[in-house]
């Protein structure tokens, strides 16, 4: 599930499966979005069966959120999300090239990189639009227990990975 704030261009990349239940998606929505940002005023969504369900519509109505569905076969009605998904796919391809299996483990860092990257449309990074400044980048992308570089080597290796993504 990809959630994009149209004002700041900030995004959340939440791993889900096509078989996830509405209960699971609702729990993820509350944990990942509502708990961090509050209840949205409106949501522009694709016509996935989960988001057109009576349950989802009633829940959003109870929360006071207006639901707008994108027009089928007209991706321009949800263009921001489509562009973000394309960028996410490109970033994940870079992870697969470098990390092989386990790209899911790096999804939070991919999200961080996306939100800390300059967006021409807002003339800032999404994190800057949200908080007034860029966030510091994580130093180490390696899995705990992996062979680690030290000193200047770690900076060089992580810079290469960040540039690649």
Q: Which of 44-48, 50-54, 148-152 has the highest mean predicted lDDT (pLDDT)?
A: 50-54
Distance CA 64, CA 43 (A): 11
Distance CA 24, CA 16 (A): 9
Number of structural domains, the chain? 1
- The string of pLDDT tens digits covering residues 137-161 is 765 555 545 555 555 676 676 667 6
Distance CA 17, CA 1 (A): 9
Distance CA 47, CA 65 (A): 17
For residue 130, the domain's CATH number is 3.30.420.10
- The string of pLDDT tens digits covering residues 29-45 is 999 999 999 999 998 88
Q: Is the dihedral of CA 151, 97, 93, 22 positive or negative?
A: negative
Range of the domain at 15: 2-164
Q: What is the reported pLDDT for 21? A: 92
């Amino acid at each position: 599930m990809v959630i994009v704030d149209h004002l700041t261009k900030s995004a959340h990349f939440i791993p889900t499966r096509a078989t996830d239940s509405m209960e699971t998606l609702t729990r993820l929505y509350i944990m990942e979005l509502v708990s961090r940002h509050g209840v949205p005023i409106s949501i522009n969504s694709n016509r996935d069966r989960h988001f057109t369900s009576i349950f989802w519509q009633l829940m959003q109505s109870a929360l006071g959120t207006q639901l707008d569905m994108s027009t089928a076969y007209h991706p321009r009605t949800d263009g921001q999300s489509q562009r973000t998904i394309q960028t996410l796919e490109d970033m994940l391809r870079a992870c697969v090239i470098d990390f092989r299996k386990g790209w899911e483990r790096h999804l939070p860092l991919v999200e961080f990189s996306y939100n800390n990257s300059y967006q021409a449309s807002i003339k800032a990074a999404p994190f800057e639009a949200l908080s007034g400044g860029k966030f510091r980048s994580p130093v180490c992308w390696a899995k705990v227990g992996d062979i680690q570089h030290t000193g200047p080597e770690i900076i060089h290796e992580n810079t290469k990975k960040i540039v690649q993504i």
